[in-house]
Structure 1
């Protein structure tokens, strides 16, 4: 690996940029490691920072699939994609999240970098509250990048990244109205206006529901706008603004006995549990094409999160008030060259980003939403910045080599306002992340690829700081991973991909979720590996099948000193098997019928692996849409057809606690296109 690191640095910094021939580029074989669910529309050539320059397993969901979806939250949409694990807490605004590559969605280790229209959208702890700002009708595409070889992102990109792209450009007006089980009502309105050199895109969305379980009422409102201005053919400026608010009740967690006797119930002690959440997101962007071979992009953004939650986890625990106030600012930029050197095609890209965080975390013990004593008052600043260089070398039309190198730095300070103490950031030093990808193209439609790289994990919340009694700086946990894969596509008829991957961490840490300080615990050194298989076949112009199967293993290879017996145990909440698939059939031009399914095997609840295995599920959904004319489309969705019981389960130290997922439910919808 030292040789590959040296090659990555040498090639990535080699300053070559000559003009490429558009005709030669079009005629050359194209390396393709992606798998698609739905139709993907490419409207412009890739600028700097584009995923087309990354040679790893990439999955995309098209807007035609996303926009007609009937889901409670957008993360459920991402759960339809290959190898994605969905963790469904079903607790008000803490509804759930998605994860991948052997990492779970517990919130202890959040290993996916989330972006919305390219804007980083994780909270300080790596969670994904901003995903709720996006509603399905406004989605243009969802892109998931897996593994450790993508140099574009640093913080939170431990196992990969996901970018949700909303509609941009065009002139349209669409509305979607839906009503369904559990007194659920939803309205979405999107509009676009493109005139001359300006574009405008807007979303208004509202959803309310009584929820599957008692005491699950929720109200959500989302507003967004995007504006674009072209200054000639080569300069594009953009701006976006989003606002979101939610007010939800929480049904709480049930004992095993109650979850089986009456999964829709709530506990009397959860009657005052609720959450209010307000979020804002703003960004400015610029894209400049200096020539056919040189372009540049930059963006500046601001995220604001305000979350006020009252929660009581069990009868013997106290209710807590948890107040989070976060303001995050950031800048990113990338410069991209492509050209030729003799018979070889080359690309060179350099970029970087920096993020400043101003975070406040407060907690109280409470009775019926009346605080009785304060347990936390923390103010902590965090700055994370990184730079990267990347090259693409194509010495022949059948070989593509992509070396890259990224370096990140971390700064910040911590104040415990309750105790009147302060602490510096851990001295993480420079966090070096060499990367290398290679693709072979032996025949048209076939890509053989391999990649290797390093990513990093730092402490989250108070875990990022050198807080007494600790006197030794915590080093970053380095994740090293590699992948071998093959992708084959036969026009629009067949698409298939097979990949084997491994990823190991030197000293993984996990956030303590219910700790007054918000500290971390040492998981130990970890090893993850897996196999991903995906396929999509169009049997007839009107009939297509798709499916995905993932096997994964996540184990503690070197246990922490305090728990040597954990060596060889499975990491908590990580199922070995994940699968999804479906069939889409259009028996007549205006009618589309779909059947899909998803499932996972069971998982352990803690690193001790001593509480049994839980959480397996098999769920099937069906939908039908009928387009009356160019303007009106009717929809019907039946989710969890078999009314199968599934649940999220965790261990509170003394017992299992259960959150049942939705039973069988139906939604009817009306979509209007202007």
Structure 2
């Protein structure tokens, strides 16, 4: 056991988890969030509540998420402001989303992913566990941007995203869809409440041949949530399981990317992989008194991934085998001390046991071992937070979070072990202030620190490194104004900046799993967004985020990169849409789009800019009966020929995105 393990655990568990009383709910007019779609309100705990976070918070309603025809759950984040989607289009490694000037390449994963409040990133911060959720099972998606939220430490560099699945109720909801390229999907969601017991079950299966050659996949997910009401306490159980398999079409060169977009080279003929996922949790929410509430969750995550990939003809095929086991505890205590004061103390600990193995292969035949890593990592943290309302128009939220890291690493290729970096206690002060000068107008500002540590073997002292590598400290500021006019208008404008010291950038194709020092960085930008609920069923929304991410002080080995833009970060990200769903009517329709400007391919800024796109989606639905609806969805309406592009050190490589595609669905709700 490492010298930091017990101290890291103690920090987190010294403050058990919490739920708050219904009377603690913040006034919606005084919050800083914006909601797209409808959210079904259930009796959720106020412990670790997003409602107490005074920063840029956006919520995607379950009604919007449930009717989308997407290959991957991460694509749903296209509807939310300021989100960059990175679409690799490579089998089980399909893509991911990112925010606040960070890219989705996988070198720096800056978003804490949660499913029903359960941590769901892998060791490096990737989001493989998002495949456990099918759209029909989603109740809402909550996206928190910025550095002022104390609830999470590890991976919450730029913010967090919580996918909240449906809870409670008695219902049966099914959706069958089919579309282009042999795509077919079946989703079922069911809920039942009998006495003190409620249960919610979900099933999802999707398969497709894919737009490109050698791009077929199939994926299955199962989940169950059970909740027992014991009066002053509620006991819950969550179980999720998923598995999938996919072929990988590989990347195209400059010569072929714009002439034969569907092509897959012969070198990728045996590329592909399988992935099996699991998530299991036990939860407890209790209210021992009128003014005190607490919650506690224990969970286990499993990730088993086996991938064969060859990025180009100039490199050999690799087999990448990953087996991760995570065990954790999350908790908090919430105290409504006075009408003007609420306090919360919480924490979390995660114990990881990770195996990462790689081989060079020839058509899946092993040639030589290049990696065999056995890693144990423990990250524990705790926080305290107060919510003070000394005046009706003033709200002040100071908070402080502390984290510690421990672990052990053994390189099983040579049998040598290495110690974890001594990061000490990672201190993260936070402060948020909100002022409501008049009804419906909230001005807010916040400050906070977050941290980044090395991923995999990068968290340890491995030669040629002979001393500890300090964590990269991110320091962020935000100032904004939120305007609310009844139910018909919500708008928000925000300016933000986030700087980092000694940012660590993973070498994704390095057999040893090492990293580069990107240097001191600065990300800054502004966000504009508005949502309008008109009469006769009309609604509209729009957002624009302008951002720039630069290397302020580069690593001494790359002085020429000073002032350069960080790769794969578009300067502009936008989304807008129009919905029509008259109350009591049979028809509904929507037209919406999202897009981004181009980005640099490398920190050297020497390969040109790529990645610009605008994608429009049109949808129409018709209610045949009260229970049965048919719908059509046309994605990439303008047939925009966009792509993901990266540079492998010798050439640019392209992954064309899907063209215009049509999908039809039948949904039955009882």
For Structure 1 versus Structure 2, the TM-score category normalised by the shorter chain is: over 0.9
Matched residue, 2:7: none
1:42 to partner: Cα distance: 2.1
2: CA distance between counterparts of 1:645 and 1:603? 16
Kindly report which structure 2 residues correspond to 1:10-25, keeping only aligned pairs within 5 A, or say none: none
**CA positional deviation for 1:28:** 6.9
Report if the CA contact (8 A) 2:29-2:484 is conserved.
Answer: no
* Cα displacement (A) at 1:26: 8.6
Quick one: distance in 2 between partners of 1:381 and 1:151? 25
Q: When the two structures are superposed, what TM-score results if normalisation uses the length of structure 2?
A: 0.96
Q: CA deviation at 1:21?
A: 11
Task: Point out where structure 2 has 5 or more consecutive residues left out of the alignment.
Answer: 1-13, 15-19
**What is the rounded CA distance, in whole Å, between the counterparts of 2:599 and 2:298 in structure 1?**
41
Which residue among 293, 296, 300 is the counterpart of 1:295?
A: 293
- Three-state SS of the structure 1 residue aligned to 2:218 is strand
Contact 1:29 1:441 (8 Å CA) reproduced = no
Cα distance, 1:349 vs. partner? Answer: 0.4
Q: 1:548 aligns with which of 543, 560, 566?
A: 543
Q: Which string of whole-angstrom CA distances, capped at 9 and with x for unpartnered residues, describes residues 263-313 of structure 1?
A: 011001100001100011100000001122100000000000000000000
Query: Could you say if the C-alpha distance between residues 76 and 302 of structure 1 is closer, same or farther in structure 2, counting changes exceeding 3 Å?
Result: same
User: What is the alpha-carbon distance in structure 2 between the residues aligned to residue 218 and residue 107 of structure 1?
Assistant: 22
Correspondent of 1:526 among 516, 521, 530: 521
- Any conservation in 1 of the 2:60–2:79 contact (CA below 8 Å)? no
In the alignment, is residue 107 of structure 1 matched against residue 106 of structure 2?
A: yes
Please say if residues 46 and 52 of structure 1, whose CA atoms lie closer than 8 Å, have aligned partners that are also in contact.
Answer: no
Q: Secondary structure at the match of 1:553?
A: strand
Point out 4+ residue stretches in structure 1 off by more than 3 angstroms: 19-22, 25-30
- What does residue 373 of structure 2 align with? 378
Deviates more, 1:623-632 or 1:516-525: 623-632
Whether the 8 Å CA contact 2:21–2:287 is kept in 1: the answer is no
Q: Residue 345 of structure 2 aligns to a residue in which SS?
A: strand
Aligned to 1:7: none
SS in 2 for 1:454: strand
Query: For the Cα contact (< 8 Å) 2:142–2:162, is it kept in 1?
Result: yes
Q: Is the 8 A contact 1:177 1:187 kept in 2?
A: yes
Contact 1:330 1:355 in 2 (8 A): yes
Report the CA distance shift for 1:103/1:28 in structure 2 as closer, same or farther (over 3 A): closer
Question: Is contact 1:450-1:485 (8 Å) kept?
Answer: yes
Task: Name the SS for the 2:289 alignment partner.
Answer: coil
Matches within 5 A, 1:94-493: 94-232=93-231, 234-340=232-338, 345-493=340-488
Greater Cα shift, 286-295 or 38-47: 38-47
Between the aligned partners of 2:153 and 2:358, the Cα distance in structure 1 is: 30
Distance in 2 (alpha carbons) for counterparts of 1:26 and 1:483: 24
Aligned equivalents of 1:354, 1:439: Cα separation in 2: 31
Give the TM-score of the pair, scaled to structure 1: 0.95
Contact in 2 for aligned 1:409/1:428 (Cα 8 Å)? yes
1:365-398 CA-to-partner distances (Å, cap 9, x unmatched) read 0001111111000001000000100001100100
> SS where residue 340 of structure 2 aligns?
strand
Name the counterpart of 2:5. Answer: none
1:609 alignment counterpart: 605
Query: Is residue 551–residue 566 contact of structure 2 (8 Å, CA) maintained in 1?
Result: yes
Deviation of 1:135 after TM superposition, in Å, equals 0.5
For residues 251 and 636 of structure 1, the distance between their equivalents in structure 2, rounded to whole angstroms, comes to 28
Alignment partners' CA distance in 1, 2:22 and 2:224: 38
Gaps of 5+ in 1: 1-12, 14-18
SS at match of 1:662: coil
The answer on whether the counterparts of 1:28 and 1:397 sit within 8 Å (CA) in structure 2 is: no
SS of the residue aligned with 1:123?
coil
C-alpha distance in 1 between matches for 2:437 and 2:158 = 29
Question: Pick from 631, 634, 655: which aligns with 2:630?
Answer: 634
Deviation at 1:468, TM superposition (A): 1.3
CA deviation string 1:633-653 (max 9, x = no partner) = 001000001111010000000
Aligned-partner Cα distance in 1 for 2:510–2:138: 37
Say if 1:207 and 1:220, in contact at 8 Å, map to a contact too: yes
Partner of 1:599: 595
Find the residue that maps to 2:148 and give its secondary structure.
coil
Contact 1:593–1:625 at 8 Å: present in 2 too?
yes
Task: Give the deviation of 1:316 after TM superposition.
Answer: 1.0
Q: Which secondary structure state, in structure 2, belongs to the residue aligned with residue 540 of structure 1?
A: coil
Greater Cα offset, 276-285 or 286-295? 286-295
The Cα shift of 1:46 comes to 4.0
User: Does the 8 Å contact 2:21/2:45 carry over to 1?
Assistant: no
- 1:9 maps to what in 2? none
- Secondary structure of the residue that 2:307 maps to in structure 1? strand
SS of equivalent residue, structure 1 residue 66? helix
Q: By how many angstroms is 1:112 displaced?
A: 0.1
